[in-house]
Amino acid sequence: MKTTELSLQKRYTYADYLNWMDDVRRELINGIVKLMTPAPSRKHQEISVNLTWIFRSFTMHKTCKVYHAPSDVRFPKNEKTKNDRDIYTVVQPDLYVVCDLSKLDDKGCLGAPDFIIEIVSPERAKRDVREKFDLYEEHGVMEYWIVNPHDENVNVFVLDDNGKYQFRGIFAGDDKIPVHIFNGDLKVDLTEVFIREDRQE
């Protein structure tokens, strides 16, 4: 299917998504196509690499797995939904952690990851802060971090017993953020995330 044939009003499924044979990155939110920025900024990529290294190092000998974009996370309507034609939401978080390995297959993750990080860009800020916040809360992602490269801070949200996100704070500077899904055994040092060129050796 050619890019020009896609409608931003029509509802599509994950089966449709798999047939889009081009280089354009997209997500589906309730069947509606959401275009992604062609290429993230260099700072965005540096932050992504730093976070991936931190989480990958911590989970190396644990059952949890860490993935970074582009990698598909599919949110089915319920646990019984397996058919690609019945899945209307697929996103590509900047980083996600899955501890229930039964959710993983060759296509990525089917169901809610335990943890998601989105690194916001000016073009996608509304989607990450509003649409994806609601989406991840609805589907039970236990912990959600929104990373702001420009201001060099991180907003942390953790799901409570009622399935609602609770704001745990804005972290910046030399803060060390305890990762809730790991019971605080991992603390992310933001000086290792936002590495400025004038601090690099």
Range of the domain at 49: 41-192
Q: What does pTM read for this prediction?
A: 0.92
Quick one: pLDDT at residue 165? Answer: 98
**Is 198 a member of any domain?**
no
Structural domain count, the chain: 1
Has residue 200 been placed in a domain? Answer: no
Q: What is the pLDDT of residue 201?
A: 43
Q: Which CATH number covers residue 146?
A: 3.90.1570.10
Residue among 122, 129, 115 at smallest CA distance from 149:
122
Below-70 pLDDT ranges, the chain: 1-5, 197-201
Give the model's pLDDT for residue 198: 54
Alpha carbons 10 and 73: distance in angstroms, whole number: 21
Q: Is residue 56 part of a domain?
A: yes
Q: Is residue 14 part of a domain?
A: no
pLDDT digits (tens, 9 = 90+) for 121-158: 877 777 778 899 999 999 999 999 999 999 999 999 99
